[in-house]
Amino acid sequence: MKRRDLFRSIGQRSLRQQSPFELELQVEGGIEEHTDPLTLDDVLHLYRRLSYGVSMPEAQKHVGKTARQVVNELLGPKDPPAPQRDVNFVKWRDPVSGQMVDYTENPEGADLQAAFAIRSWWGTNYKRMSAWHTFEALRDPLSVERLASFWSGHWTTEFAFDDQYTQPHTLYNQYMMLRKDRLGNFRDMALDVTLDHAMLFYLGGWLNDAGRPNENYARELLELYTTGIGWYTEGDVEQAARVLTGWKVARFNDQPAPKGIYKTWFDARRHDTGAKEFMGVTIAARTADNNTEFQVRNEEVRELVNIIFRARPDAVSRFIAGKVYMHFVFSSPGEIDKQFVADLAKKFRDADFELRDLFLNLFISKHFFDPALRGAQIKTPIEYVVGLLKALRFNDTEVAPIDGAAWTGLMDQALFDPPNVAGWPGYRSWISTNTYPRRRDFARKMIDLLTDERAMQLIQEMPEHEDAAKFVSGIVRYMLPVAVSETRLTYYKNTLLEGQPDYTWGEKLKQPASAARSLRALLKAIAVAPDFQLC
Amino acid sequence: MKRRSFLATTAAAAVGTQVLGGIPLKAFTPMNMPVPMQPDDDRVLIVVQLFGGNDGLNTIIPVDDPNYYAIRPTIAVPKEKAISVLSRVYMHPALAPKDQYGFPQMFEDGRLAVIQDIGYENPNLSHFRSTDIWLSGFNSSDPDVRLLDGWLGRYWSNHIPGFPEFLPPDPIAVQIGGSLSMVLQSPKGDIGIALTDPKSFFELGQGLSPDMTPMSDETRYGREFNFVRTVAEQCDRYSSVVKNSFDKGKNVATYTDGGFVQQMKLVARLISGGLKSKIFLVYMGGFDTHVQQQDEYQNGLHPYLLGQLASGIGSFMQDALAQGFADRVVGMTVSEFGRTPFENGSRGTDHGAASAQFVFGNGVRAGVYGQSPDLTNFDGNGDVRYQWDYRRVYADVLENWFGGTPQETEDVLQDRVLPLGVLQRATSVDDAYEGRVEVNIRVSPYPSAEHVSVEWYQPVNAVTTVDVFGTDGRHVKTLLTDRLAPGTHSVAATGLQSGSYLCAVMINGRRSVAPLTVIR
């Protein structure tokens, strides 16, 4: 404890002045519920943060409702609807031979050609999975994929790390599990992930045997996934690793797979049956009789997770509430925001770590709707890409040739493949001289793809679109997070009308090709503004 | 004032190109802002980041320590395989790639310094936190303290007038590849650019200036807006600058194919082409050698990486020497930690603490800094203890290379840190005239018991500070801060525990150092 105190005092002295976010801030809203009827801007704000945006007609349907109503609707049912498109990565029809192929063969030891085929099949399926995810995200009317994507970034796994590959179908299974767990109890989610195939492989849990412990997952479970750094000892890490011994994954058809390929199984001989002492709690030794999968799962692994939540409830609730806050509200919280996070964390803990409560309390709070937080968040690449495709109202045929996942990759977010176990660093690291030109390039290309028909649809969806000035302010509200100055509005209107008087807009509207061309020019002008990167 | 008129022309040209819908938005820019200036001298720093934690004990080999062979039975480098350099130090053979300008030769030529056991107090074994500690220059393991920006970012953002509203003509820093590193971030925004290759940066980066004035910094929205705006402007402004330097520049040395080697090649070409950046950041990953780091013939992942490192830096130095810019470039390696002294069961090593650091260039005071690692006295986690605080080389860079003052170092590091002295500092005529010269310090008696007296001759009337530092470079206490008249002065050093110290007398911003030992 002494060391922590020492660090804290050093930290405060040396860092406080450095942080740019310690100035007076105007945020007034706290954890209390925002009960005013929602305005159009409120609805747009909510959808930008909790989903990937919303069309104007859809947004208008929610104006006047309470935040609680809309958030409940947007969070959706506990069990998510099935994905819109089915994917099956295990059995796959080879496009060349037309045969159903089962690529569970081990590339190690296979002949060169087969090994190459297996690995390229992983690469292909990784791309298919990323494309599938961007499509589901685009067509999700709720927040299912947005929340699942957040959790998939929290419980990191990587497609490619060092010389290893995680098979895409196990990443897919993990994603589907997080999708199902996204609004459940965080404790259950932790247990599910701990014994999930993808994580067992990624952090070496499958190599964790009695007598030869591998501490990798045990450490990250605490440091990165539940309590955060500083709430456990090195001894706790060692003991947790012992608890977690014996769980195996079957990756290839030449490995034992008592429960089937890609299913986690328990190897009793590799489990450390001795007593463990974790965070001051004893987990009793066991004998050969009760060293079974069912009992070890419940009496040791579940118990391990339970102990973390019992012994460090404040740490867990603060760490998770903070992470959720930084992802959905503001990435660089100041003092006032930290007070809010503390209040949010307390409610989360009081709700026994129910995630639905956490998200509900966050998104219906006065703090969330406070004007001072609008436009303060940098869009992640997936938000930027899916958000723009959604805003431009592309239909399925139009969107099909666009490889959204390749674009997010160019913007430094290869889906399901974060840079390391700590996940994407987020916030300002998303925007650099490497990635910003890609973002601009993407917007320009997408706007060029906007057909006359889609452009006219977009125009007609804006309120009072026949009035040039009102149309411009409508589209600016729709595309940008915060109202802009009169100067900018005038400039945008001049761009739309090519410097002609307002009444010419009516003429343009009669000729879709002309109106569409003007709209594309306007959208490009908006997309070059710095706040187009913000939400 | 050539530079000014050049700038005025380019600024006018920029406005001319972007008259948007009849409203040139630049017209709203306040006109009386300071003119952006490129820093005066032409000194360049190359930061070589070795991510994953480089194994210092298998880089600089402690061949005369039997403990080394005892704790590393399968991966130790045998004495006969290690390369002896000037009888001072033994290096891993991979650091001398065949037919290239390797580290042993650079050391013999006086262009390489080896710093033993560099690290920091209370080492953090997380890659991420420890990397943040190295790049930010703040040693804080408190998870509640978020490390947001870097020591170089803070220094240069305060050093460039008008930054970031106005950007200097050339980027202050260039990072090859990736998202911009924390070390180049500052509370005012990024001081540099990241690019993968100059051609695509040029093609995609042109015309990206938003042509909009900054927002007020009073709101969160305004700050993020300004952050993005600055990046956009950097893309626009620097894409052609970088391309021009790339086109004008050349490489005359031969480089091998590796990714890191090619990064060094690009850096040499940009410098050769006249890019006036102060910092280049290059990166090599893969040092997290938990498994199979080297086989019995000293081949494997770690030797491969060391070979790449030496090859890239060696070719770069040859290029710099041949093209005549070697005197104005120094480089340093940084790695978040070393490895465990004991090898693990899979011919690898796990996360450790102190490790070896390299500083290279003509401006380096070549040599070995510090003792061979003590393999009998480990820290609480069983790791090598540090001899030098990692910020000492930073202080060197800021004060002796970039010409900053000790006060600036203190502002940047939020702590008083003594430069290690691994970089040479030029003394100008002005320095001598204003008394910014080194003075002789007499510590008596030496070694000292109860009463220690520190005495020096003061050439000018100036504010003088006398500090005591630990030998690792961390500040212990201040003995005196006062304006003193010319003449001989002394001050008593009291209340020091037994041990070795460094005593620094700073007159008019120039520091002189003498050792001080207390035995009770």
- Among the partner residues B223, B228, B234, nearest to A533 by beta-carbon distance: B228
What is the residue type of A231? Answer: W
**pLDDT score for B432:** 67
Q: Which of A159, A197, A158 is nearest to A177 (CA)?
A: A197
Q: How far apart are CA A161 and CA B513, in angstroms?
A: 48
Sequence-separated (6 or more) residues with CB below 8 Å from residue B326: B111, B317, B320, B361, B362
Q: Which residue in B144, B236, B302 has the most chain A C-beta atoms within 10 A of its own C-beta, making it the best mutation to test that interface?
A: B144
Indicate the burial class of B513 (C-beta count within 10 angstroms; 0-12, 13-18, 19 or more): middle
Q: Which of A529, A509, A505 is nearest to A455 (CA)?
A: A509
pLDDT above 90 covers a percentage of chain A that reads 78
* Neighbour tally for B326: CB within 10 Å: 18
Q: Label residue A287 by pLDDT band (50, 70, 90).
A: very high
Q: Are A143 and A51 in contact (CB under 8 A)?
A: yes
Could you tell me if B212 lies within 8 Å of chain A, comparing CB atoms? Answer: yes
Could you tell me if A495 lies within 8 Å of chain B, comparing CB atoms? Answer: yes
Q: How far is A468 from chain B (nearest CA, A)?
A: 16
SS3 B47: strand
Q: Which two three-digit tokens encode residue A133?
A: 């995810």
Q: What is the DSSP letter of B189?
A: E
Q: Label residue B519 by pLDDT band (50, 70, 90).
A: confident
Q: How far apart are CA A270 and CA A256, in angstroms?
A: 14
Segment of A187-191, B161-165, B221-225 carrying the highest mean pLDDT: A187-191
Contacts of A10 in chain B (CB under 8 A): 139-140, 142
pLDDT digits (tens, 9 = 90+) for A166-221: 989 899 999 999 999 999 999 999 999 999 999 999 998 998 999 888 888 999 99
Q: How far apart are CA A222 and CA A231, in angstroms?
A: 8
Q: Label residue A398 by pLDDT band (50, 70, 90).
A: very high
Could you tell me if A76 lies within 8 Å of chain B, comparing CB atoms? Answer: no
Indicate the burial class of A534 (C-beta count within 10 angstroms; 0-12, 13-18, 19 or more): buried
**pLDDT score for B426:** 64
* Neighbour tally for B76: CB within 10 Å: 21
Could you tell me if A528 lies within 8 Å of chain B, comparing CB atoms? Answer: yes
Q: Has the ipTM of the complex gone over 0.90?
A: yes
- Cis bond upstream, residue B445 (ω within 30): yes
Contact A230 B28 (CB under 8 A): no
What is the residue type of A380? Answer: T
Q: Which two three-digit tokens encode residue B110?
A: 């006086």
Q: Are A173 and A197 in contact (CB under 8 A)?
A: yes
Contacts of B210 in chain A (CB under 8 A): 528-530
Return residues 230-269 of B near A (CB < 8 Å).
231-232, 234-235, 238-239
Contact A14 B414 (CB under 8 A): yes
Alpha carbon of residue B236 to chain centroid = 28
**Whats the size of chain A, residue-wise?**
535
pLDDT digits (tens, 9 = 90+) for B316-359: 999 999 999 999 999 999 999 999 999 987 788 988 999 999 99
Q: How far apart are CA A455 and CA A73, in angstroms?
A: 29
Could you tell me if A98 lies within 8 Å of chain B, comparing CB atoms? Answer: no
**Max Cα distance, chain B (Å):** 80
Contact A499 B22 (CB under 8 A): yes
Q: Left if phi > 0, otherwise alpha if psi is -120 to 50, otherwise beta: which for B512?
A: beta
3-state helix, strand, coil in chain B (%, to 5): 30, 25, 45
Q: Which two three-digit tokens encode residue A532?
A: 């187009």
Mapping DSSP onto H, E and C, the string for A3-57 reads: HHHHHHHHHHHHHCCCCCCCCCCCCCCCCCECCCCCCHHHHHHHHHHHCCCCCHH
Q: How far apart are CA B296 and CA B253, in angstroms?
A: 33
Give the alpha-carbon dihedral of A77, A79, A83, A86, to 10 degrees.
-160
Contact A437 B204 (CB under 8 A): yes
Contacts of A21 in chain B (CB under 8 A): 220
Q: Which residue in A2, A427, A434, A485 has the most chain B C-beta atoms within 10 A of its own C-beta, making it the best mutation to test that interface?
A: A434
Token pair 């060092």: residue: A162
CB pairs under 8 A between A and B: 179
Contact A534 B224 (CB under 8 A): yes
Q: Which two three-digit tokens encode residue A530?
A: 């710095």
Q: How far apart are CA B507 and CA B435, in angstroms?
A: 8
Sequence-separated (6 or more) residues with CB below 8 Å from residue B71: B341, B342, B343, B375
**pLDDT score for B292:** 84
- Looking at every residue in chain A, the average pLDDT score rounds to 91
